[in-house]
Amino acid sequence: MSGENPVIEPRDVIRVAKAGTVYVVGAVDKPGEFPIKDQENMTVLRAVSLAAGPNRHSAPQKARIIRETGGKKQEIAAPINDILRGRRPDVDDQKRDVGCSVVRVRRDDDGRYVAVLGDPLNRRIDAFTPIVELIRQAAADPQVVAIKQTLYRTSSNSPIVDALAAAALAGKEVTVIIELLARFDEKANISLATRLQEAGAQVVYGIVGYKTHAKMLLILRRENQKLRYYTHLGTGNYHPNTARLYTDYALLTADPEIGEDVRRVFVQLTSLGKLNKLHKLLPAPFVLHRALLEKIEREAQHARDGRPARIVFKINALVETQLIQALYRASRAGVKISLIVRGVCCLRPGIPNVSENIEVRSIIGRFLEHSRIALFENGGNPEILASSADLMDRNMFRRVEVCFPIENKKLQERIRRDLDYYLCDNTQAWILQGDGGYARLTPRDGEEPAMAQQRLLEETKK
């Protein structure tokens, strides 16, 4: 009767099949029916994690997918242990990434994680795949002892959450700090927290009264009878959707001091202990505000003493009063200050004897500028910091944030070059005036148009 429109007779029953549903049955803790959302790739590991994972009576290697096509049933082998260890594919997320290059994370001959086809500092303009790949490989690595991560905003079908759930199912110690009060994402975060708990992860909700806004991932791996830290720190959220639209920086490092610092921050967030002194990180609400004030004053002193002095901030907002006053004092001391502020800026540039050495610009282009970077010339010994925090009261005093140094000379040069692109943009840049208005820059006669975001895209394609 295919293609016909049959007449309904008395006592007929009309059954309309559900679309986008998967059933997980057998030796799982919570068998049942689970919806597949629009454009969501349902994978074996995702389906099993939704069902709270295999139970103690299960034989994961004998898992099967039963698929009905054209009235015929087909059985497809889905050995869960092999998928977790990377021996069998689960799903290829590359097709869902938007990026000009794909950076992979693999293990070298000694088992250490290294980034290939790229360097350890990844603009989100490159790809989101490396972070997911890193956690997936850590989940399958028998030498990995623990994985710890913060999640502020992520999607309901996040591959990051899939990878963390898979790691917990594989027996790793997985700790996830989820911020339940992330505005507009409260419901999604509660759902993700429940899902991770059911997979066996330890889920913590941070410190009462403080939002956990820091972007941190820590992998502890056993190497040569010692624990080695692999740390990922970023300026933006672990969110596959915003990663396609925002520009951010992320640092993947095996620096033992940074790794130990991040471990201490996780201990402080998951216990009632006091935060011990850190080696390199500047966390808020503990020391970040004071450290920034000191660095601005240090730059002012360099200017007074005739040494190279310059400050560049690239941030989303500048509101905090004490930092604004410190920048005014540095300007009066002769420090050249360039501020790239996407959103609200309460500082007024160009005021005689107050802020004539300060320029404020905003870049409005294809991507939303989201990275937070600070550059201090420091008398000829430049210091570059990246952070999850903006220069606002809430970030300095009411949120848990992490500011981290970029110490590698090659990475410093890359960030300086990127900042120069933004400061030379004459097409998508808006300059803040002393009266609070903005004036858009346009190329002068005979001047070539310069667009920072376009330059970054072109570099990524090389």
Q: Is 250 helix (H, G, I), strand (E, B) or coil?
A: strand
Locus of tokens 């951010």:
248
Give the C-alpha separation, 430 to 340, whole Å: 10
Q: Which residue is listed with tokens 């080695």?
A: 228
User: What secondary structure does DSSP assign to 173-206, as a single string?
Assistant: EEEEEE-TT-TT-HHHHHHHHHHHHHHT-EEE--
Q: Which residues of 72-102 are buried (b: 16+ CB within 10 A; e: fewer)?
A: eeeeeebbbebbbeeeeebbebeebbebeee
Nearest to 218 by CA among 252, 184, 250: 252
Cβ contact 86:140 at 8 Å: yes
DSSP alpha helices (H): ranges in 27-127?
44-50, 80-84
Are residues 102 and 94 in contact, defined by beta-carbon separation less than 8 angstroms? yes
3-state secondary structure of 254: coil
Contact between 200 and 53 (Cβ < 8 Å):
yes
Radius of gyration of the chain, Cα coordinates, nearest whole angstrom: 25
Q: Which one-letter DSSP state was computed for residue 109?
A: T
Strands, DSSP E only, in 245-380? 246-247, 249-253, 282-284, 310-315, 336-341, 358-363, 368-369, 373-376
Catalytic-role residue among 57, 213, 289, 370: 213
State yes or no: is 213 an active-site residue. yes
* Token digits of residue 129: 């795949």
Nearest to 148 by CA among 261, 287, 273, 276: 261
Which active-site residues does the annotation give?
213
